[in-house]
Amino acid sequence: MFELSWRGGATEARLHRRRPGGEDLPWGTLDLARYPHEHGIEARRIWSNGVFTEYASAAAFSALTTTMLQCGAPVDLIAMSADIVVDELFHVELSSRLTMELGGAVPLAFDLADIAPVTTPGVRPLMRAAEIAITTSCVSESLSVPAMARSRALATDPLVRGVLERLLADEGPHARLGFWFLDWAIEELTELERAELARIAVETIGVYAPLWQDDASCGSCPLPVGLGGHDAIGKAALRKAVDVHIAGPLARYGIELDLTSLAEPGAPRA
């Protein structure tokens, strides 16, 4: 079962010195009586999942940091990746506190031994780093920006909106890191490696496709508007982000995505 713990004391103080402002949010003001009971239950489920995804992102950027060290990436780029891990763990704290104010987390079954991203067996460190950079930063984080921005626009509760604003403030650099890595690495990647990276990118995008495919079953889509969420505008923004913020930029590195498999719900992935 996925559970969190908190030590407090010196370690908590260190985190909050580096990521201040969390205590300034309007904790204790969320009034669930303003919302239908089922909305509160759905919000608990969605934010519980959000805690997990932030935790998984910390693991992914930690793995990216290690692979960058192994392939000799620029030191300042490595430092940024390591610092993003702290961002994500701060996001875990904020999201989990909000979840508790919504009434508590729902159970999530996951073996933390599997939390780190899996890369293609046997590839060299440069390719491992490129795989994680694309799946974690170029794709996942690039999609989180429009999703979170729409959730913030729709949120009416001050605490929910405040948490979303704080999370969103970090997401832009998280999405750019992968492309900055490619700026450095791309000349060392072969045509075959670039083709494989394109396939991996499309496969990763396919995981998120239910979020914008109208007739797909998406258990995480109907988060109540007042507590943050998505609507038709948000779905359109997500799909547009695939073309504008992922496929277009990757093409400039010779990583050409074939997105035809994502055109219709249920279509086979590349």
Question: What are the residue boundaries of the structural domains of the chain, listed by start?
Answer: 35-108+122-262
All residues at 6 or more sequence positions from 97 whose CB lies less than 8 Å from its CB, including other chains: 22, 27
Average pLDDT over residues 149-168: 92
202 with 258: CB under 8 angstroms? yes
**For residue 194, is pLDDT > 90?**
yes
Q: Which two tokens stand for residue 116?
A: 């780190």
pLDDT at residue 217 in the model = 43
Name which of 79-83, 84-88, 144-148, 265-269 the model is least confident about.
265-269
Q: What is the pLDDT of residues 181-192, one digit of tens each?
A: 999 999 999 999
- Looking at the domain 35-108+122-262, which fold is it? Ferritin (1.20.1260)
Question: How far apart are the C-alpha atoms of 26 and 30, rounded to whole Å?
Answer: 8
CA dist 179 and 176 (Å) reads 5
Handedness of CA 41, 213, 174, 132 (dihedral sign): positive
> pLDDT value at position 233?
80
State phi, psi for 200 to the nearest 5 degrees: -65, -40
Which pLDDT belongs to residue 267?
Answer: 43
> Which residues does 38 contact at the CB level (< 8 Å), separation at least 6?
none
Q: Please give the pLDDT value at position 264.
A: 53
pLDDT at 35: 85
| Reported pTM | 0.92
Fill in the DSSP letter of residue 74: -
Arithmetic mean of pLDDT, 1-15 = 94
Q: Determine the Cα–Cα distance for residues 71 and 28; give it in Å rounded to an integer.
A: 46
Q: What is the mean pLDDT of residues 124-147?
A: 97
Q: Is 224 exposed, middle or buried (0-12, 13-18, 19+ CB in 10 A)?
A: buried
Query: Rounded to whole angstroms, how far apart are CA atoms 51 and 2?
Result: 10
What average pLDDT does this structure show over 130-141?
98
For residue 74, how many C-alpha atoms fall within 13 Å in the half-sphere facing its CB? Answer: 11
The two tokens of residue 192 are 């075959």
pLDDT at res. 230 = 63
215 sits in which H/E element: none
For residue 128, the model assigns a pLDDT of 98
